[in-house]
């Protein structure tokens, strides 16, 4: 028999439950120079006690504490039984650190939640983001003890824990200080799930107490007080005998209960009717620069390349920042002009060069950029030298700089012709014109005139004709050549 598919409501509830059992926290701010206890709450200190009593090397713990204080721990993900984060060490690519903790059984959860629901004080403290001391003394051990925290890390250090896993534990103490529900999530239950369960248990507990009170003999129930009128219109407290037992078929507060106040509401027609709405507030200002994506650790068997994902994430952030900045510069409101994308469609080769030039804006060739250039060369049928030269051209002038790299053109008479006279008047070397180039091959210097009326400096080893873009473009040929000669 084919099982019936889950309804839309059940599927949505399942998605909420899965999301409730996984929380991701952004990197905590660094605290350089901080001294004293790392955790501020008693439960955060108890978490670190479990780490320190198990650690085999106090030096690794000290390094982990320093890593945590200096902000080396990136985004932290907490799920039942495990905590995962990337930790930046001495190498360029971070390591993946993990802490495992046993989850509670269903029987243990039943006992723990029952004790919380039965004591209003415990529930009040928990809702105030404080962990009641009594929970640490119950039979169900909520806080970890010696040996309960199991560290793992992708680094070559086999310490238990290594400094990366220790740094993650120290940062977790700060998260626990702010929200003890994180500890409950590590033990197996999400905050929404816990509060729903506690609400049901609290309602059932209250109902049981109400039934016991209702069935109690009249002589054992306390008298009820009412306000009665006196002479002069004043009121006094009047003590009345307990009334007869109420009908147990009607719950207190039920709309059908005699004397219950009518429930107010708004007709659906009135709630859905059109009405004037205030204008939307102006958008927030764009940040000064796009954000940087977190560095991802290497891993075996991943369905993607971490470096490529970082690369594309940085580009997406830069494009989004440019689009938001362009939209903000035109103002807001119904009458603003349409905003054109600052990133027009480009052929694959040009877009690949744009990505390489903007996602890694440094000019130096590192091992990461060399690997990137090799991959781009293999994907586009070019050489790594072609890729590196094209990246330099894009950094120099964007699409126009890349176009000037391989496509000479014949500029009309005017600025190009007057440039040679300006160079001679400034007592600069005489350059030979050819197409849009002014060249001195013996010195290895060249200026290229662009369609945007700017001059792009190039240099080469004398006599090799191996020209490379060098320095920024300049609308003044004298300024462009002077900068080139000063290198």
The answer to whether 450 and 397 are in contact (CB under 8 A) is yes
- pLDDT value at residue 244: 41
- pLDDT value at residue 464: 82
> Could you give the C-alpha distances from 73 to 52, 293, 409, in angstroms and in order?
19, 14, 53
Task: Order the strands of the 437-440 sheet from edge to edge.
Answer: 432-434, 437-440, 445-449, 455-459, 468-469
Please indicate, yes or no, whether the overall pTM of this predicted structure exceeds 0.75: no
Instruction: Give CA–CA dist 484/439, Å, rounded.
Output: 12
Instruction: Give CA–CA dist 11/18, Å, rounded.
Output: 11
The answer to whether 248 and 211 are in contact (CB under 8 A) is yes
Instruction: Give CA–CA dist 473/2, Å, rounded.
Output: 69
Tally of residues, the chain: 487
Tens digit of pLDDT at every position of the chain (487 positions) = 455 555 566 666 667 767 788 888 988 888 766 666 778 899 999 898 888 887 777 888 888 888 998 889 998 999 999 999 999 887 778 889 999 999 999 999 988 888 888 888 888 888 888 888 888 777 788 888 888 899 999 888 887 888 999 999 999 999 999 999 999 999 998 888 888 888 888 788 777 777 766 655 555 555 544 444 444 444 444 444 444 444 444 444 444 445 555 556 778 877 778 878 788 888 788 888 887 777 777 666 777 777 778 778 888 888 888 888 877 766 555 555 555 666 777 888 888 888 888 766 554 566 777 888 888 888 888 898 999 999 999 999 889 999 999 889 999 878 888 888 888 888 888 889 999 999 998 888 999 999 999 999 999 988 788 899 998 899 999 988 888 888 7
- pLDDT value at residue 76: 92
Joined together, the tokens standing for residue 195 give 């509060």
> Could you give the C-alpha distances from 219 to 208, 209, 216, 241, 397, in angstroms and in order?
20, 18, 8, 9, 94
According to DSSP, residue 333 is labeled S
- pLDDT value at residue 342: 66
- Find the DSSP H helices in 25-162: 42-52, 58-69, 106-118, 120-127, 133-137
For 430-452, give the secondary structure using H, E and C: CCEEECCEEEECCCCEEEEECCC
Q: What are phi and psi of 433, to 5 degrees?
A: -85, 140
Determine if the peptide bond prior to 161 is cis (ω within 30°).
yes
Cβ atoms within 10 Å of 171's Cβ, excluding its own: 27
Instruction: Give CA–CA dist 80/258, Å, rounded.
Output: 48
- Find the DSSP H helices in 81-190: 106-118, 120-127, 133-137, 163-178, 181-186
């Amino acid at each position: 028999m084919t099982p019936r598919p889950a309804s839309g409501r059940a599927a949505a509830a399942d998605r909420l439950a899965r999301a409730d059992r996984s929380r991701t926290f952004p990197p905590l701010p660094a605290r350089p120079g901080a001294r004293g206890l790392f955790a501020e709450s008693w439960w955060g200190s108890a978490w670190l006690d479990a780490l320190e009593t198990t650690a085999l090397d106090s030096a690794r713990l000290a390094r982990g504490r320093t890593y945590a204080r200096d902000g080396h721990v990136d985004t932290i993900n907490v799920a039942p039984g495990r905590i995962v984060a990337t930790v930046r060490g001495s190498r360029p690519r971070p390591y993946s650190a993990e802490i495992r903790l046993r989850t509670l059984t269903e029987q243990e959860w039943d006992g723990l939640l029952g004790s919380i629901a039965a004591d209003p004080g415990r529930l009040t403290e928990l809702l105030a983001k404080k962990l009641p001391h009594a929970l640490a003394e119950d039979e169900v051990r909520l806080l970890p003890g010696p040996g309960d925290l199991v560290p793992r890390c992708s680094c070559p250090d086999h310490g238990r824990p290594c400094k990366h896993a220790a740094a993650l534990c120290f940062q977790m103490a700060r998260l626990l200080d702010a929200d003890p529900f994180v500890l409950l999530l590590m033990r197996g239950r999400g905050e929404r799930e816990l509060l729903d369960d506690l609400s049901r248990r609290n309602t059932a507990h209250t109902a049981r107490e109400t039934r016991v009170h209702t069935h109690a003999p009249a002589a054992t129930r306390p008298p009820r007080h009412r306000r009665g009128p006196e002479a002069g219109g004043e009121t006094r407290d009047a003590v009345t005998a307990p009334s007869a037992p109420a009908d147990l078929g009607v719950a207190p507060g039920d709309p059908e209960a005699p004397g219950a106040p009518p429930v107010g509401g708004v007709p659906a027609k009135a709630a859905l009717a059109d009405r004037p709405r205030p204008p939307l507030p102006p958008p927030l200002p764009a940040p000064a620069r796009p954000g940087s994506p977190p560095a991802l650790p290497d891993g075996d068997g991943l369905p993607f390349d971490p470096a490529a994902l970082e690369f594309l994430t940085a580009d997406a952030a830069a494009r989004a920042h440019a689009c938001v900045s362009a939209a903000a510069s035109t103002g807001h409101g119904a009458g603003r002009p349409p905003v054109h994308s600052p990133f027009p469609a480009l052929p694959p080769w040009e877009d690949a060069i744009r990505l390489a030039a903007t996602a890694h804006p440094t000019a130096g060739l590192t091992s990461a950029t060399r690997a990137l250039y090799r991959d781009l060369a293999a994907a586009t049928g070019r050489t790594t030298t072609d890729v590196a030269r094209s990246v330099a051209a894009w950094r120099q002038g964007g699409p126009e700089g890349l176009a000037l790299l391989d496509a000479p053109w014949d500029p009309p008479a005017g600025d190009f012709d007057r440039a040679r006279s300006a160079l001679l008047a400034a007592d600069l070397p005489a350059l030979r014109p050819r197409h849009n180039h002014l060249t001195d091959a013996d010195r290895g210097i060249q200026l290229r005139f662009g369609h945007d009326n700017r001059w792009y400096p190039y240099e080469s080893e004398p006599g090799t004709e191996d020209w490379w873009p060098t320095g920024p473009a300049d609308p003044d040929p004298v300024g462009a050549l002077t900068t080139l000669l000063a290198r």
